[in-house]
Protein backbone atom coordinates (compact mmCIF):
# COMPACT_ATOMS: atom_id res chain seq x y z
CA UNK A 1 0.00 0.00 0.00
CA UNK A 2 1.17 3.51 -0.81
CA UNK A 3 1.10 6.18 1.89
CA UNK A 4 -0.18 9.66 1.07
CA UNK A 5 2.03 12.49 2.27
CA UNK A 6 0.38 14.84 4.78
CA UNK A 7 2.47 17.74 3.42
CA UNK A 8 1.32 17.02 -0.14
CA UNK A 9 -2.30 16.71 0.95
CA UNK A 10 -2.11 19.94 2.95
CA UNK A 11 -0.87 21.81 -0.13
CA UNK A 12 -3.51 20.16 -2.32
CA UNK A 13 -6.35 21.07 0.06
CA UNK A 14 -5.15 24.66 0.38
CA UNK A 15 -4.88 25.09 -3.40
CA UNK A 16 -8.39 23.69 -3.78
CA UNK A 17 -9.67 26.12 -1.14
CA UNK A 18 -7.87 29.24 -2.44
CA UNK A 19 -7.83 28.40 -6.15
CA UNK A 20 -4.21 29.53 -6.31
CA UNK A 21 -0.76 27.95 -6.14
CA UNK A 22 0.61 31.38 -5.21
CA UNK A 23 -1.68 31.87 -2.21
CA UNK A 24 -0.95 28.32 -1.07
CA UNK A 25 2.81 28.98 -1.24
CA UNK A 26 2.44 32.22 0.70
CA UNK A 27 0.34 30.65 3.46
CA UNK A 28 2.66 27.66 3.83
CA UNK A 29 5.73 29.90 3.49
CA UNK A 30 7.16 27.80 0.66
CA UNK A 31 8.17 28.65 -2.88
CA UNK A 32 5.67 28.14 -5.69
CA UNK A 33 7.97 25.65 -7.51
CA UNK A 34 8.16 23.57 -4.32
CA UNK A 35 4.35 23.49 -4.07
CA UNK A 36 4.03 22.60 -7.77
CA UNK A 37 6.46 19.71 -7.26
CA UNK A 38 4.41 18.41 -4.32
CA UNK A 39 1.24 18.36 -6.44
CA UNK A 40 3.07 16.65 -9.29
CA UNK A 41 4.30 13.93 -6.94
CA UNK A 42 0.82 13.54 -5.42
CA UNK A 43 -0.65 13.10 -8.92
CA UNK A 44 1.99 10.47 -9.68
CA UNK A 45 1.10 8.60 -6.48
CA UNK A 46 -2.61 8.37 -7.26
CA UNK A 47 -2.22 8.17 -11.04
CA UNK A 48 -4.69 10.98 -11.77
CA UNK A 49 -4.60 14.68 -12.64
CA UNK A 50 -5.98 16.75 -9.79
CA UNK A 51 -6.36 20.20 -11.38
CA UNK A 52 -7.25 21.58 -14.78
CA UNK A 53 -7.26 25.10 -16.19
CA UNK A 54 -10.31 26.61 -17.88
CA UNK A 55 -9.65 30.09 -19.28
CA UNK A 56 -6.82 30.64 -16.78
CA UNK A 57 -9.08 29.48 -13.95
CA UNK A 58 -7.83 26.62 -11.77
CA UNK A 59 -10.43 23.89 -11.24
CA UNK A 60 -10.53 20.46 -9.65
CA UNK A 61 -10.80 17.45 -11.92
CA UNK A 62 -13.18 14.63 -11.05
CA UNK A 63 -10.35 12.79 -9.31
CA UNK A 64 -9.38 15.99 -7.53
CA UNK A 65 -12.90 16.44 -6.18
CA UNK A 66 -12.94 12.88 -4.85
CA UNK A 67 -9.52 13.24 -3.24
CA UNK A 68 -10.44 16.57 -1.64
CA UNK A 69 -12.98 15.02 0.73
CA UNK A 70 -10.38 12.49 1.89
CA UNK A 71 -7.63 15.10 2.04
CA UNK A 72 -9.59 17.47 4.27
CA UNK A 73 -10.37 14.66 6.72
CA UNK A 74 -6.80 13.29 6.76
CA UNK A 75 -5.23 16.73 7.31
CA UNK A 76 -7.77 17.55 10.05
CA UNK A 77 -7.15 14.24 11.84
CA UNK A 78 -3.39 14.74 11.58
CA UNK A 79 -3.66 18.21 13.13
CA UNK A 80 -5.94 16.94 15.89
CA UNK A 81 -3.48 14.15 16.74
CA UNK A 82 -0.53 16.54 16.82
CA UNK A 83 -2.45 18.95 19.02
CA UNK A 84 -3.35 16.08 21.38
CA UNK A 85 0.16 14.67 21.77
CA UNK A 86 2.42 17.43 20.47
CA UNK A 87 6.19 17.37 20.56
CA UNK A 88 8.41 17.54 23.62
CA UNK A 89 9.77 21.07 23.85
CA UNK A 90 13.39 21.28 22.72
CA UNK A 91 15.40 24.05 24.39
CA UNK A 92 18.75 25.60 23.69
CA UNK A 93 20.62 28.64 22.45
CA UNK A 94 22.19 28.56 18.97
CA UNK A 95 24.58 31.10 17.50
CA UNK A 96 24.10 31.14 13.72
CA UNK A 97 26.22 32.98 11.16
CA UNK A 98 24.78 33.66 7.70
CA UNK A 99 26.03 35.44 4.56
CA UNK A 100 24.79 39.04 4.35
CA UNK A 101 23.10 38.51 0.99
CA UNK A 102 20.85 35.80 2.44
CA UNK A 103 19.77 37.98 5.36
CA UNK A 104 16.81 39.63 3.60
CA UNK A 105 15.51 36.91 1.27
CA UNK A 106 16.10 33.24 1.98
CA UNK A 107 16.98 33.00 5.68
CA UNK A 108 14.26 35.11 7.38
CA UNK A 109 11.56 32.71 6.13
CA UNK A 110 13.51 29.67 7.29
CA UNK A 111 14.30 31.18 10.68
CA UNK A 112 10.70 32.29 11.23
CA UNK A 113 9.40 28.81 10.46
CA UNK A 114 11.97 27.22 12.76
CA UNK A 115 11.28 29.52 15.72
CA UNK A 116 7.54 28.98 15.33
CA UNK A 117 8.05 25.20 15.40
CA UNK A 118 10.57 25.26 18.25
CA UNK A 119 9.73 28.36 20.31
CA UNK A 120 11.95 27.31 23.22
CA UNK A 121 15.10 27.41 21.07
CA UNK A 122 16.76 30.83 21.07
CA UNK A 123 18.62 31.90 17.92
CA UNK A 124 21.34 34.53 17.79
CA UNK A 125 21.87 35.38 14.12
CA UNK A 126 24.88 37.31 12.84
CA UNK A 127 25.31 38.45 9.22
CA UNK A 128 28.69 38.97 7.52
CA UNK A 129 30.70 37.98 4.45
CA UNK A 130 31.28 34.21 4.20
CA UNK A 131 35.07 34.57 4.41
CA UNK A 132 34.74 36.69 7.54
CA UNK A 133 32.37 34.19 9.15
CA UNK A 134 34.82 31.35 8.49
CA UNK A 135 37.88 33.19 9.80
CA UNK A 136 38.97 33.84 13.36
CA UNK A 137 37.86 35.32 15.66
CA UNK A 138 34.29 35.10 14.28
CA UNK A 139 34.43 31.41 13.40
CA UNK A 140 34.80 30.26 17.00
CA UNK A 141 31.79 32.30 18.08
CA UNK A 142 29.21 30.26 16.13
CA UNK A 143 27.53 26.88 16.50
CA UNK A 144 26.52 26.84 12.81
CA UNK A 145 27.67 28.88 9.81
CA UNK A 146 25.84 28.99 6.47
CA UNK A 147 28.57 29.92 4.03
CA UNK A 148 29.51 30.08 0.36
CA UNK A 149 32.20 28.13 -1.49
CA UNK A 150 33.99 29.77 -4.43
CA UNK A 151 33.91 26.40 -6.19
CA UNK A 152 31.03 24.02 -5.39
CA UNK A 153 32.39 20.85 -3.79
CA UNK A 154 29.78 18.17 -2.97
CA UNK A 155 32.48 16.25 -1.09
CA UNK A 156 33.00 19.03 1.45
CA UNK A 157 31.48 18.54 4.87
CA UNK A 158 28.16 20.37 5.12
CA UNK A 159 27.67 20.91 1.37
CA UNK A 160 24.01 21.52 0.46
CA UNK A 161 23.62 22.81 -3.11
CA UNK A 162 25.27 24.92 -5.79
CA UNK A 163 23.72 28.29 -6.63
CA UNK A 164 24.01 30.13 -9.93
CA UNK A 165 25.53 33.61 -9.90
CA UNK A 166 23.72 36.25 -11.96
CA UNK A 167 24.16 39.87 -12.97
CA UNK A 168 21.53 42.05 -11.31
CA UNK A 169 20.50 45.63 -12.08
CA UNK A 170 17.66 48.08 -12.46
CA UNK A 171 15.48 48.51 -15.54
CA UNK A 172 18.06 50.98 -16.86
CA UNK A 173 20.50 48.14 -17.57
CA UNK A 174 18.08 45.54 -18.94
CA UNK A 175 18.51 46.47 -22.59
CA UNK A 176 21.84 48.31 -22.64
CA UNK A 177 25.19 48.07 -20.89
CA UNK A 178 27.52 51.08 -20.60
CA UNK A 179 30.93 51.02 -22.25
CA UNK A 180 32.49 51.19 -18.79
CA UNK A 181 30.55 48.93 -16.46
CA UNK A 182 29.69 50.47 -13.05
CA UNK A 183 29.91 47.81 -10.33
CA UNK A 184 28.20 47.83 -6.93
CA UNK A 185 29.74 45.28 -4.57
CA UNK A 186 30.58 44.27 -1.04
CA UNK A 187 34.13 44.95 0.15
CA UNK A 188 36.94 42.53 -0.67
CA UNK A 189 37.34 39.60 -0.18
CA UNK A 190 33.72 39.18 -1.37
CA UNK A 191 33.39 36.09 -3.61
CA UNK A 192 30.90 37.85 -5.91
CA UNK A 193 33.12 40.91 -6.32
CA UNK A 194 36.14 38.75 -7.12
CA UNK A 195 34.20 36.63 -9.65
CA UNK A 196 32.79 39.69 -11.44
CA UNK A 197 36.00 41.72 -11.67
CA UNK A 198 38.15 38.73 -12.69
CA UNK A 199 35.79 37.75 -15.51
CA UNK A 200 35.37 41.32 -16.77
CA UNK A 201 39.14 41.83 -16.77
CA UNK A 202 39.59 38.52 -18.62
CA UNK A 203 37.37 39.69 -21.49
CA UNK A 204 38.90 43.19 -21.32
CA UNK A 205 35.55 44.82 -20.53
CA UNK A 206 36.17 48.19 -18.83
CA UNK A 207 34.71 48.33 -15.33
CA UNK A 208 34.78 50.43 -12.19
CA UNK A 209 33.58 49.74 -8.66
CA UNK A 210 31.43 52.81 -8.03
CA UNK A 211 29.83 51.81 -4.73
CA UNK A 212 31.10 49.50 -1.99
CA UNK A 213 28.77 48.28 0.74
CA UNK A 214 28.37 44.93 2.51
CA UNK A 215 24.66 45.28 3.31
CA UNK A 216 22.23 43.84 0.73
CA UNK A 217 19.64 46.53 1.49
CA UNK A 218 22.26 49.15 0.69
CA UNK A 219 23.20 47.36 -2.52
CA UNK A 220 19.53 47.16 -3.51
CA UNK A 221 19.04 50.88 -2.86
CA UNK A 222 22.09 51.76 -4.94
CA UNK A 223 20.82 49.57 -7.80
CA UNK A 224 17.36 51.14 -7.65
CA UNK A 225 19.02 54.55 -7.92
CA UNK A 226 20.66 53.39 -11.14
CA UNK A 227 24.22 53.64 -9.82
CA UNK A 228 25.32 50.35 -11.34
CA UNK A 229 24.91 46.57 -11.38
CA UNK A 230 25.98 43.79 -9.01
CA UNK A 231 26.39 40.03 -8.78
CA UNK A 232 24.19 37.88 -6.53
CA UNK A 233 23.31 34.25 -6.03
CA UNK A 234 20.13 33.66 -8.00
CA UNK A 235 18.24 32.45 -4.92
CA UNK A 236 18.98 35.71 -3.07
CA UNK A 237 17.84 38.25 -5.71
CA UNK A 238 15.34 40.57 -3.97
CA UNK A 239 11.95 41.30 -5.59
CA UNK A 240 12.01 44.36 -7.83
CA UNK A 241 15.53 43.83 -9.17
CA UNK A 242 16.21 42.47 -12.65
CA UNK A 243 18.40 39.50 -13.55
CA UNK A 244 20.37 40.65 -16.60
CA UNK A 245 20.99 38.37 -19.56
CA UNK A 246 24.51 37.17 -20.27
CA UNK A 247 26.18 38.81 -23.26
CA UNK A 248 29.60 39.72 -24.63
CA UNK A 249 29.76 42.45 -22.00
CA UNK A 250 28.23 40.36 -19.19
CA UNK A 251 29.94 36.94 -19.19
CA UNK A 252 28.44 33.88 -17.56
CA UNK A 253 29.37 33.90 -13.88
CA UNK A 254 29.18 30.22 -13.03
CA UNK A 255 28.14 28.83 -9.65
CA UNK A 256 29.06 28.95 -5.97
CA UNK A 257 28.50 26.26 -3.37
CA UNK A 258 26.25 26.67 -0.32
CA UNK A 259 27.22 24.71 2.77
CA UNK A 260 26.37 24.57 6.47
CA UNK A 261 29.29 23.95 8.79
CA UNK A 262 29.57 23.24 12.50
CA UNK A 263 32.91 24.94 13.25
CA UNK A 264 33.19 23.75 16.85
CA UNK A 265 31.85 20.24 16.19
CA UNK A 266 29.34 20.71 19.01
CA UNK A 267 26.23 18.53 18.91
CA UNK A 268 22.85 18.96 20.56
CA UNK A 269 19.24 18.22 19.71
CA UNK A 270 18.62 21.91 18.98
CA UNK A 271 21.61 22.17 16.63
CA UNK A 272 20.58 18.95 14.86
CA UNK A 273 17.05 20.26 14.32
CA UNK A 274 18.27 23.60 12.93
CA UNK A 275 20.80 21.82 10.69
CA UNK A 276 18.07 19.58 9.30
CA UNK A 277 15.69 22.51 8.78
CA UNK A 278 18.20 24.75 6.98
CA UNK A 279 19.55 21.88 4.83
CA UNK A 280 16.09 20.78 3.69
CA UNK A 281 14.77 24.31 3.07
CA UNK A 282 17.84 25.56 1.19
CA UNK A 283 17.98 22.39 -0.92
CA UNK A 284 14.32 22.83 -1.94
CA UNK A 285 14.42 26.60 -2.48
Number of folded domains in the chain?
A: 3
Same domain? 121 vs 179: no
Q: What is the pLDDT of residue 88?
A: 63
60 assigned to some structural domain: yes
Q: What is the pLDDT of residue 135?
A: 85
Q: What is the pLDDT of residue 272?
A: 92
Give the CATH number, domain containing residue 71: 1.10.10.10
Same domain? 49 vs 116: no
Same domain? 75 vs 208: no
- Label residue 11 by pLDDT band (50, 70, 90): very high
Q: What is the pLDDT of residue 30?
A: 87
Nearest in space to 148 (alpha carbons), one of 236, 71, 216: 236
Q: What is the pLDDT of residue 86?
A: 63
152 assigned to some structural domain: no
Is the pLDDT at 282 greater than 70? The verdict is yes
Same domain? 168 vs 241: yes
Q: What is the pLDDT of residue 45?
A: 92
Is the pLDDT at 180 greater than 80? The verdict is yes
Q: What is the pLDDT of residue 253?
A: 95
Q: What is the pLDDT of residue 87?
A: 61
Domain span at 61: 6-85
116 assigned to some structural domain: yes
223-234 residue pLDDT tens: 999 899 999 998
- Label residue 165 by pLDDT band (50, 70, 90): very high
185-214 residue pLDDT tens: 988 888 899 999 999 999 999 999 999 988
250-281 residue pLDDT tens: 999 999 999 999 988 888 999 999 999 999 88
**Is the bond preceding residue 209 a cis peptide, omega within 30 degrees?**
no
115-132 residue pLDDT tens: 888 888 999 999 888 888
Q: Compute the CA torsion angle 24, 107, 125, 133 (nearest 10 deg).
A: 170
Q: What is the pLDDT of residue 44?
A: 92
Same domain? 62 vs 99: no
Give the CATH number, domain containing residue 221: 3.40.190.10
22 assigned to some structural domain: yes
Q: What is the mean pLDDT of the chain?
A: 89
Same domain? 12 vs 81: yes
Least reliable range by pLDDT among 96-100, 202-206, 280-284: 280-284
Amino acid sequence: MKNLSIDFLRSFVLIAQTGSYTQCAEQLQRTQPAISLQIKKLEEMIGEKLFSRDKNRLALTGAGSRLLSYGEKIVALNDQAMAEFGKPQVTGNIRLGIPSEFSTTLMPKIIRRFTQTYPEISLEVHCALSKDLLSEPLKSQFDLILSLQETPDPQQDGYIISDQLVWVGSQRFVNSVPAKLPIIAAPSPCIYRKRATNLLSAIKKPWQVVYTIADLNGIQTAINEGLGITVLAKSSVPPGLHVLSNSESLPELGHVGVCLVNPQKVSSKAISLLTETITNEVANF
